[in-house]
């Protein structure tokens, strides 16, 4: 019997996107736990085939003594890499779906502020038993909080995603294709505080911004021979201010198996072309283009109790900023090591890695939808990221992971509020001191991370994690909008086979906002957020739930000048089904 290793993520909260800026907040509040389990099963198509959740494991090579082949999840889904086995946010609503799994689901919820959440996920086998087709629709919208303290502008928002996929799994390979689209709208509602004491005419501001994209992709994986994998993707992104962006990525991977070593060679071509809106100052549209060409050769030595991968990466970046060439050659390490100190109980790991991150308008707007459509774009170079840690089990139901890492990044992109210029003519809706630009600096980060996960069988699960960050910068006094610490606590408790509750508490530490060079940098206070879900399963297929978010009713600042909604209540139901 072959054994396959999988990292399982503890699901934190169903309502991952909360009102306005709070929808981004939960990305930092998710409790993540990892545990290695052995699973064997036959193939059956599920939503995870169609829409795999991206995850960045600490160690890419969990399987120390064997080549990666087909990896099975507890949902009997073959995948090519470690990922979180959850069907979107739906799995967090219905914990029992982990045990009573259906291929398809529909979810609908409604809450105060006229918040509407809907999801529909369908995947079916077609033709041969190993071919599948799937679709996933997700919608979240809110009319906003009309009584939000210190907010005069419209703060409603909405976001909808529709994705389709077609794929097939065979014994020695698998392939998939994807097509999708996204539409969203937000409002730049976070104006400066002095507007409220100067009788500012808010009626003159139109804060609405709309985003959209279409994206296609394909991937092919081969489990025999030197050719391992190839993935290609294209995204076209635009906004309501005539900004537009194209991004194309092609990434083939090869490996050669030797008796006691494996040689890996990874390539990637990442092309970005962005044209921003008319900035209203000189009536110019700023244009950026970057082509990052990367190669990462390495050789891996492995045995039963260890694996060591030695390699290096090289990226040549050909850029053009507003017509001016910006080329760079970056060399970085790619070294990873894993050691089973006590088999199946204690594992130590360490490494030195690096790379070049393409900062795209689409990614930045996803991270902060209140960004201005006139950003300065340049890649971030991670010269090295050194890490070392240890993970394992303290008891059969208690696992842990501790890690320390130190990394240095050149041209790290950090958000900062754009200052209001009263003398600027023909102002756009984002030019009232209510949108974010970018500051780049060399940032060194020392991080300490630790997590504990308790698993009391089917009765309860508890996960707690914490992270401390110390930043040092070269050109400025502080790092901006980067928290000094994070703490996440998640508790899932099954009272009976039908009743359950899921609580999660997130804490984000102090951050800084750029003072503009003439005044001291502004300290953004820490905040915490408490969410609670209570669910009832009248049948194996139906789950009804009631979720309270931001239960402490704290209108904290997720971003500078952007308060989040207070207490939110959302109720709804989920139906799981097979055709």
* pLDDT, tens only, 106-165: 999 999 999 999 999 999 888 777 899 999 999 999 998 888 888 999 999 999 999 999
Band of the pLDDT at 43, cuts 50, 70, 90?
A: very low
Spell out where 104-201 has E strands: 104-111, 115-126, 131-142, 157-169, 173-187
On the 0-12 / 13-18 / 19+ scale of CB atoms within 10 A, 551 is middle
Whether the pLDDT of residue 3 is over 90: the answer is no
Which phi-psi region, left, alpha or beta, contains residue 280 (left: φ > 0; alpha: ψ -120 to 50)? left
DSSP 361: H
8 A C-beta contact, residue 176 and residue 219: yes
> What is the structure's pLDDT at 1?
34
> What is the structure's pLDDT at 2?
33
Mean pLDDT confidence for 301-317? 94
Range with the lowest mean pLDDT among 36-50, 161-175, 308-322, 560-574? 36-50
8 A C-beta contact, residue 220 and residue 244: no
Mean pLDDT confidence for 38-50? 45
Whether the pLDDT of residue 366 is over 50: the answer is yes
Q: How many CB atoms lie within 10 A of CB 565?
A: 24
Per-residue buried b or exposed e for 476-513, using 16+ beta carbons within 10 Å of the residue's own CB: bebbbbbbbbbbbbbbbebeeeeebbbbbbbbbbebbb
Q: In percent, how much of the chain has pLDDT > 90?
A: 66
Residue that has been written with the tokens 């359950």 in this structure: 500
Note the pLDDT tens digit of each residue in 182-232.
Answer: 999 999 999 998 887 778 899 999 999 999 999 999 999 998 889 999 999
Task: Give the Cα separation of 172 and 266 in Å (integer).
Answer: 20
Which residues, 6+ apart, have CB-to-CB distance to 331 below 8 Å?
A: 312, 313, 314
Q: How many CB atoms lie within 10 A of CB 268?
A: 19
Joined tokens for residue 409: 């990044």
Higher-confidence residue of 387 and 100: namely: 387
How many CA atoms does the CB half-sphere of 137 hold within 13 Å? Answer: 8
Joined tokens for residue 391: 């993970």
> What is the structure's pLDDT at 304?
86
Note the pLDDT tens digit of each residue in 451-500.
Answer: 999 998 878 999 999 999 999 999 999 999 999 999 999 999 999 989 99
Mean pLDDT confidence for 406-422? 95
8 A C-beta contact, residue 441 and residue 474: yes
Higher-confidence residue of 404 and 277: namely: 404
Map out the domains of the chain as residue ranges. 5-577
Mean pLDDT of the residues in the chain: 83
Task: Give the Cα separation of 520 and 507 in Å (integer).
Answer: 25
Closest CA to 543 of 497, 492, 493, 578: 497
Per-residue buried b or exposed e for 68-97, using 16+ beta carbons within 10 Å of the residue's own CB: bebbbbebbbbbbebbbbbbbbbbbbbbbb
Band of the pLDDT at 47, cuts 50, 70, 90?
A: low
- CATH domain 5-577 topology: Maltoporin; Chain A (2.40.170)
Band of the pLDDT at 60, cuts 50, 70, 90?
A: very low
On the 0-12 / 13-18 / 19+ scale of CB atoms within 10 A, 236 is middle
Whether the pLDDT of residue 284 is over 50: the answer is yes
8 A C-beta contact, residue 221 and residue 228: yes
Q: Which H/E stretch holds residue 367?
A: helix 361-367
Closest CA to 96 of 577, 504, 498, 544: 498
Whether the pLDDT of residue 44 is over 60: the answer is no
The Cα-based distances of 288 to 171, 244, 322 in angstroms read 44, 11, 6
Residue that has been written with the tokens 């967090």 in this structure: 92
Joined tokens for residue 161: 């995603």
> What is the structure's pLDDT at 114?
95
> What is the structure's pLDDT at 546?
97
DSSP 569: E
Range with the lowest mean pLDDT among 34-48, 298-312, 415-429, 505-519? 34-48
Task: Give the Cα separation of 34 and 492 in Å (integer).
Answer: 16
Mean pLDDT confidence for 45-61? 40
Task: Give the Cα separation of 418 and 414 in Å (integer).
Answer: 12
């Amino acid at each position: 019997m072959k054994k396959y290793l999988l990292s399982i993520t503890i699901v934190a909260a169903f309502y991952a996107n909360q009102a306005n800026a709070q929808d981004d907040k939960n990305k930092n509040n998710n409790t993540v736990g990892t545990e290695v389990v052995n699973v064997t099963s036959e193939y059956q198509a599920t939503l995870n085939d169609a829409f795999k959740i991206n995850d960045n494991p600490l160690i890419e090579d969990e399987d120390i003594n064997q080549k990666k082949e087909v990896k099975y999840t507890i949902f009997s889904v073959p995948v090519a890499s470690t990922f979180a086995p959850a069907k979107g946010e739906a799995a967090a609503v219905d914990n029992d779906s982990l045990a009573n799994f259906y291929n398809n689901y529909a979810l609908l919820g409604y809450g105060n502020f006229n918040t509407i959440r809907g999801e529909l996920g369908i995947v079916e086998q077609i033709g041969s038993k190993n071919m599948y087709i799937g679709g996933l629709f997700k919608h979240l919208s809110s009319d906003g909080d009309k009584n939000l303290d210190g907010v005069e502008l419209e703060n409603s928002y909405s976001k909808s995603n529709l994705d389709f996929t077609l794929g097939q799994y065979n014994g020695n390979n698998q392939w998939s294709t994807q097509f999708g689209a996204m539409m969203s709208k937000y409002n730049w509602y976070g104006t400066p505080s002095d507007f409220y004491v100067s009788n500012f005419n808010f009626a003159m501001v139109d804060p609405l911004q709309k985003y959209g994209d279409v994206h296609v992709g394909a991937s092919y994986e081969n489990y025999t021979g030197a050719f391992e994998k190839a993935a290609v993707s294209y995204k076209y992104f635009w906004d309501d201010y005539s900004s537009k962006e194209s991004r194309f990525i092609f990434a083939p991977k090869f490996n050669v198996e030797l008796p006691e070593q494996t040689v890996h060679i990874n390539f990637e071509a990442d092309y970005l072309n962005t044209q921003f809106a008319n900035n209203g100052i000189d009536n110019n549209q700023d244009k950026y283009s970057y082509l990052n060409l990367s190669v990462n050769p390495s050789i891996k030595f492995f045995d039963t109790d260890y694996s060591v991968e030695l390699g290096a990466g090289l990226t040549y970046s050909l850029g053009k900023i507003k017509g001016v060439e910006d080329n760079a050659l970056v060399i970085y390490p790619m070294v990873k090591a894993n050691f089973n100190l006590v088999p199946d109980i204690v594992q130590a790991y360490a490494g030195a890695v690096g790379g070049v991150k393409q900062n795209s308008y689409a990614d930045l707007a996803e991270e902060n939808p209140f960004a201005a459509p006139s950003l300065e774009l340049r890649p971030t170079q991670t010269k090295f990221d050194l890490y070392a840690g240890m993970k394992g089990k303290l008891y059969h139901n208690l696992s842990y992971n501790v890690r320390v890492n130190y990394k240095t990044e050149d041209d790290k992109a950090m958000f900062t509020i754009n200052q209001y210029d009263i003398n600027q003519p023909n102002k756009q809706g984002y030019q009232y001191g209510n949108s974010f630009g970018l500051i780049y600096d060399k940032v060194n980060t020392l991080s300490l991370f630790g997590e504990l996960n308790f698993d009391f069988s089917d009765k309860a699960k508890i996960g707690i994690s914490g992270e401390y960050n110390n930043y040092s910068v070269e050109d400025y006094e502080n790092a901006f909008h980067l928290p000094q610490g994070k703490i996440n606590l998640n508790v899932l408790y099954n009272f009976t086979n039908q009743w359950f509750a899921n609580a999660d508490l997130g804490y984000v530490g102090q951050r800084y906002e750029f003072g503009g060079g003439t005044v001291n940098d502004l300290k953004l206070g820490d905040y915490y957020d408490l969410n609670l879900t209570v669910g009832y399963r009248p049948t194996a297929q139906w789950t009804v739930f009631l979720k309270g978010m931001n239960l402490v009713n704290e209108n904290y600042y997720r971003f500078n000048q952007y308060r989040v909604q207070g207490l939110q209540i959302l109720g709804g139901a989920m139906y799981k089904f097979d055709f």
